[in-house]
Structure 1
Amino acid sequence: MFATATSNLVKEIDPEGCLIPVSRLNDSDKLVPLSLVIRRKRFWFWQRPKYLTSDFTLSDVLNGDKPIKPVVVETDFLKYAGTFGDKLSGKVDGGVGPANFSLEGKGSSKLQSSFGSLKKQEVDVQKLLLDSKDRVLNLEHSLVNQTLGKHSEAFAILKERIVTSQQCSVTEEVLEQGDCAGFFTNKIIKVSVNENENAQQDSSVSLEIPAQTVIAYSVIELEVKCGGQFELCLQPDTIGGFKVDSPKKAKDAVDGRLVKAVGCNPAGTTATPALQRELEKLQAHFQQLADLPAATRSTLLQLLITIMLDRVALAALESGLDQLCCGGTPDLCELQDSPTLKQTVQEVLDLVQQSHQNQSDGQSGGTHPRSPVLTATHVTVSAMAEMTEPALIHLGSCSPRFLLALQQLVHCLAGGGELSLQDPALSQLVEEGEGYQRAEQLFSCSGATLQREASTLRAETGPQAKLRPLVMCISVQGLASLCT
């Protein structure tokens, strides 16, 4: 609940900025000015990094006994209140080979948020530059030593935080409904200010948020040199890290350029070479999904469509696949209050592991360290997790035949060509009354456009689309691979 409330706040007030929502209430006390935060790079470059709190501040890991005392300026930030909602209803019937499935249900979600008056606390960066000049990190400190050895991690320090100024409460009500083949979730989440310390509870779960709770923050990354000297990365697009990890730093730079190449299309052009190259690199993963037995593909597609309509369940599935890729055991504790969703996510994880076992049984010479099906599923789910909420809703309402039509539009977007509306592969766009409008809305929510001219279709990315077209294309390709 807390993570959903803070995530929605950041999406509303800073959708393309540098604010990071706090996902765990327990982390609030650790997020003090100049506290050390670890930025962890994910498996795929389109995944947003994870930020992990630590028990230390910058002063704790410096050589010398003189601590750095930050100068913090507090100002009124904003008063936040809003009501957001979606209504979902529909029926998806489909078949993959000899297998058929049906997903039908109705539901709605409603979020009412009122954090009251929020405060912004900012570190005086110029004073920090003076105080940290010529200071050196203690490379023998346990946290520094452990982080130094991990190529995917870098240090950052907290420079800004958004805090509550009065006590609030988060309440949640969950209702799941639908037939035996699937369900939708009816969830109401309310965040309200408590007046006179009296909280009105009208749902099954209630969480009290005290005053001075950190709900979002931003960081400055550190570039650490071989001897422990460091520089503050003051520009937002500057990536920190350890200079001794030069291969990592070079890879980060390549990924940064790729983000710009995939997302920025010159005005008046439709081809996106970087987008096409990235999709071509992933074709082997999509083929792994297409090669699964028909019954497995049908079940996996049904489960993914169900999960993608709930952001918390989708995040839990992505985290579970992350853990499996690292050789660990998935922890689905965040779905403890939603047993049906937890079971659905667990079914996906079990199905992926079972597919790996089936592949291993048919091979001699041992097993692969990581299942190709696991990697392929991870690629698809990680892209879905980066899509916007409206785009997920549009994609989640697509039948298998419609997904195959979207796959052709994805090829058109990547290749910069045109498609004829007479093409049998696009018949679903024409036959369904709102088929074209649905595809158009999905592309629009993903930083791309569809242009209909007479009997042809043309697709292109927007000038500031960034990675949104890529993650949409990967999601469509992955799901469509389960429909072949």
Structure 2
Amino acid sequence: MFHKATKSLAKQLDPEGDLIPVYCLLDQKHFRPLCLVQRKSKNPWWQKGRYHKTDYKLLDVLFPGNQSAQLGFLSPDIYDSDPITIVDNVDGKLEGDVSVTTDLATLELKSSASMSHARSVKVKKRHISSHVLDSLNGDSKISLDHQLIKQSEKFRRDLYVVTETVETVEEAEFRENSKTEGSILAELRLRTKMTGLRDSKKAVIVPKDCILAFRVKRLIIRGESLGISIFPEDPRLTFQSCKGGYLADGAATQQITESGHMEITRGGKPHLVVKSKREHPLKEVEQECAPLRLLSTDLHVKFLNGFLAVVRNNDLLQELELQLEQALDGINPIKLKTHRPELQGLVENVQDSTGAVCPAIGEAVLYFLQALDELSESELLLLEESVERKMVPKQVPLVHRILENDFSNKKGTLTIDTQKEFAFIEDELDIMEAMIKLSGVTVQRNGASLAMTGNPDAFLTLGALYVVLYVLNLLSS
């Protein structure tokens, strides 16, 4: 619930910016100004990548003898903005065969249901002064013997310094209540099956000075020299060894970066960055999920049951995803544990007899969970309905076709006759249309034809949906 609230608030404060919501309330203190966070050098193409705490600040990894360079970090200039109050309240009851309500966090689909959420919070922005950031370039030295530096380079983790935060000025409460009776109905004749009564009340108390969101700058480490990447599109990674290194001074070469760009270097420094034609990202999905295809039929069933359990229960998803990330981290690996019988078959077979996670299978499972975590609650409801209706085999090639068009880099509209090309019946098309719209794609429907336009963000969101559909279809077949 905390992460859902911080995502909404970050989007409200900076709709098209780079404000990063804090994922876990317990970890929020690790994202204060000048704290170091890390991220994998390589992330799925549909994911911007999650930033993880490190328990260290920038001062902790600077070379001890470089007193002058450290002076600015002992008592840095941190500036506060004027307080900003954000109010987001939704309270209502909807009945009928057709009801679609959109707010910052959810799209509710219901026949007889009431829902409300309340988020009223006063925040301020804190940021590091520019001269402190400027002093990072060239004047500071990194202690290469520090454990964080050594392990980050070994396990290919990019390091970032927190330069700006959004913090609460006073204690705040986020509340969410929902009560649903009977079946949930959506647009037109779509029936998302949910019988009986579900009553949910959640609340989280956020303390004063709590970090809700932050911005970062990437560290660039070459030898003992420390620099900071000012521009987000800078293709350099924290450690040059992560992408093969540079040639000696005076030489020129070119290489493909992790972001899929071609970087031309001269004298060991980036000289020019140009876009490079690369294999379509949909190929990545096949490669990352290949270990799941090799599982036995019996394991397909166990994994599918586990995956459907996390589709239905977001708390299970968060628990399993975080455990698996730590188990695969390589720095402080853990054994997976669960007391939920629906996850037992999955957890037991991701690990070997010693309790260690099998890297190939574990990475494939995490790839699926990360994609699932990108979907909204409404998309998960529609996904569950799609599985029950056995629609997924039709949905996979349709979403593949949309992504192949890559509307994020093209102008114009993609039109697909879903009945002719994919044999969708009308009720199935209602579900598919709703799922595509929730991804941010603009859809105009004419009979069985869908005319679609999108943007880069919609392309990424639809990419996460494709990963989920692809895996569920793979395990079902």
Same fold (TM over 0.5): yes
Q: In the alignment, is the contact (CA less than 8 A) between 1:22 and 1:28 conserved in 2?
A: yes
Q: How does 1:192-207 map to 2 (within 5 A)?
A: 207=205
2:318 to 302, 315, 320: 315
Equivalent position of 1:471 in the other structure:
464
Indicate whether 1:232 and 2:236 are aligned.
no
Structure 1 CA distance for aligned equivalents of residues 32 and 401 of structure 2: 49
Structure 1 CA distance for aligned equivalents of residues 312 and 92 of structure 2: 11
Indicate whether 1:405 and 2:394 are aligned.
yes
Indicate whether 1:65 and 2:64 are aligned.
no
Identity of aligned residues (%): 21
- What TM-score, normalized by structure 1, do the two folds share? 0.69
2:152 to 141, 147, 156: 147
Equivalent position of 1:194 in the other structure:
none
Equivalent position of 1:125 in the other structure:
130
Equivalent position of 2:188 in the other structure:
none
The 3 A distance-change label for structure 1 pair 8 and 445 is: same
Residues 279-329 of structure 1, C-alpha deviations (whole Å, 9 max, x = no match): 45457356347x624xx6566545534432544432223223434556631
Structure 2 segments unaligned to the other structure (5+ residues): 96-110, 184-193, 247-253, 263-277, 406-413
Q: In the alignment, is the contact (CA less than 8 A) between 1:6 and 1:22 conserved in 2?
A: yes
Q: In the alignment, is the contact (CA less than 8 A) between 2:115 and 2:179 conserved in 1?
A: no
Letter in 2 for 1:317: L
User: Secondary structure of the residue that 2:82 maps to in structure 1?
Assistant: strand
Q: How does 1:55-204 map to 2 (within 5 A)?
A: 55-63=55-63, 64-66=66-68, 67-68=71-72, 69-84=75-90, 110-115=116-121, 117-130=122-135, 133-151=138-156, 153-170=157-174, 186-190=199-203
Deviation at residue 127 of structure 1 after TM alignment: 4.3
Deviation at residue 275 of structure 1 after TM alignment: 4.2
Deviation at residue 129 of structure 1 after TM alignment: 0.5
Residues 396-424 of structure 1, C-alpha deviations (whole Å, 9 max, x = no match): 33234222221231243255598655559
Deviation at residue 354 of structure 1 after TM alignment: 4.8
Structure 2 CA distance for aligned equivalents of residues 80 and 22 of structure 1: 17
User: Secondary structure of the residue that 2:7 maps to in structure 1?
Assistant: helix
Equivalent position of 1:49 in the other structure:
49
Q: In the alignment, is the contact (CA less than 8 A) between 1:106 and 1:184 conserved in 2?
A: no
Letter in 1 for 2:166: I
Structure 1 segments unaligned to the other structure (5+ residues): 90-104, 191-205, 259-271, 333-341
Deviation at residue 379 of structure 1 after TM alignment: 3.1
Structure 1 CA distance for aligned equivalents of residues 328 and 91 of structure 2: 35
Deviation at residue 75 of structure 1 after TM alignment: 1.0
The 3 A distance-change label for structure 1 pair 414 and 157 is: closer
- What TM-score, normalized by structure 2, do the two folds share? 0.70
Residue-pair matches, total: 412
User: Secondary structure of the residue that 2:402 maps to in structure 1?
Assistant: helix
Structure 2 CA distance for aligned equivalents of residues 88 and 42 of structure 1: 44
CA RMSD of aligned residues (A): 4.5
Letter in 2 for 1:129: D
Equivalent position of 1:20 in the other structure:
20
Q: Which of structures 1 and 2 has the larger relative contact order (alpha carbons within 8 angstroms, sep 6+)? A: 1
User: Secondary structure of the residue that 2:159 maps to in structure 1?
Assistant: strand
Residues 152-184 of structure 1, C-alpha deviations (whole Å, 9 max, x = no match): x122111111111122235677999999x9999
User: Secondary structure of the residue that 2:258 maps to in structure 1?
Assistant: helix
Structure 2 CA distance for aligned equivalents of residues 275 and 37 of structure 1: 27
User: Secondary structure of the residue that 1:480 maps to in structure 2?
Assistant: helix
Structure 1 CA distance for aligned equivalents of residues 255 and 371 of structure 2: 20
Deviation at residue 137 of structure 1 after TM alignment: 1.2
Q: In the alignment, is the contact (CA less than 8 A) between 2:372 and 2:468 conserved in 1?
A: yes
Q: In the alignment, is the contact (CA less than 8 A) between 2:30 and 2:54 conserved in 1?
A: yes
Equivalent position of 2:214 in the other structure:
217
